Structure 1
Amino acid sequence: MRIGELAALLGVSTRTVRHYHHQGVLPEPARRANGYREYGMRDALALARVRRLVQLGLSLDEARDVIADDRDRELPEILAQIDADLARQEHEIRARRARLAELIGKAEAGVLGPDDTVSPELAAYLRQVDAPRSGASAWDHDLLVLVDSMGQADAEDPSWATFATLAADPELAARGDDFYRRLDELAGADPADPRVTALAAELAGFTAEHLLNGDATATAGWDMTAVEPFLDELAPGQAEVVRQAVRRIAEHVGATGADRREAPPTRPVR
């Protein structure tokens, strides 16, 4: 096929195809004896891959590297990968539609709550937790929802399952309620209040014992820069508890990182 036919097939202009040639992203076939460049199935697949990669947010330089790798593979292998990509997309779309159908049903029944729109994993956890109504628990709730919203929309967060397990244990749930109560009591306290350091130490110890599991843990996951912007919602003494707890966790992670898995996203512990 000619360049115009290739462009029409993929829904782009011939100028776009030539631009990809010029940038070295799309291989340009040699001219034949008649002076025209003839494009085949492999060229169409390469152009389709470029368009897909660009739509996914890759730069042309990044797309060029991917396409260059494809040149070293056989056509059946490339087709198989495309089929696998489509199968993954189909699975994700079905899961999203099932979730959407659930939300539509709740909306029609008039029982759609604000927490129902978060990820299913966090929604299940929030339903399970019966946190006391307090300033500290409200701040924690809002931060969890914010962290969930900042993640990938379709990505499952295994840490929510860990939180749910803790919430299902009456003893651990009661300890979490006690943390909230003590944090509320520090609403009018000075950051130098000895209760601040005591509570921070207990929170850090609880996290290390129940949440930092596995073979490796990333110190970067407990960087204060991740939570600092949200501490203005807390009183000075309460904010200092969070700062000290996160610092202690980071120190623990740094000391044991070689033996632990990557840490969960930074968030206060229930």
Structure 2
Amino acid sequence: MQSGELAGLAGVSVRALRHYHQVGILPEPARRANGYRTYDVEDLVRVLRIKRLSSLGVPLERMTGLLDGPDGSGDTHSGVADSILDDLDRELADQIAGLREQRAAIAHLRTHRSSPDIPPELARYFAAYADAGVPADVARADRDGSVLLTHLVGADGMAELATFYERLSDPAIISSVVALIEEFGRLGTGDAGDTSEGIADLVDRFSAIVAQAFDDVPDPDPPIELGSSGRLLGELVEGRLNERQRQAVALLSERLSTRR
């Protein structure tokens, strides 16, 4: 039989047969005078065995020991099969655990009516501020900043970051924070508080709330170091602010750095 017939009988593609040849698990038959390769039923059985091993997740490069044992039917006594099956079982267990975590994250996001691109650990925070009526443009900026920040702190810093956001989600302070955010949004528009004194007053009130949230979060061990990556967060924030707002953020950062 030719490659097309073999592939059809085995339920694989001709391209798959070529790949099996390339990785060395299916010997290439010699070409006949007409230039075509001719396969026999032994090749069909071997392809069916390859297909079965693939369905279990056995990598092609690890199939040789199973396909070509001393008796030609796979060496199940040397431990090759046991080793491969043990590895597959561990990999599947890890995949199952990962899928369970994904489902839990999806359930958490659904519970808090959050967008899938928001870190699940921060979903409660975003839900609380959405309910409190935070302006849409602020919510978008906060989302983008949080996505970047969670990436920068990594898994090691996620617990502390989530605790900080949880403190800011306290119902006792949300209304005050939203009011300050709205006041911040009016900076640079000629509002009555759009003066150096007004900015300083706004920062004083906002830093008092944020500093309290910081104080409730234990210092991570080891400390989180953003290094040069920290500038990316600054670029994201500054790129969306006007001059007055940048002044306020710089002053807030200065105030908070002296308290940590």
Q: TM-score, normalised by structure 2?
A: 0.48
- Compute the TM-score of the two structures, normalised by the length of structure 1: 0.47
The structure whose Rg is larger is 2
Which structure exhibits the higher relative contact order, with contacts defined as CA atoms closer than 8 Å and separated by 6 or more residues?
1
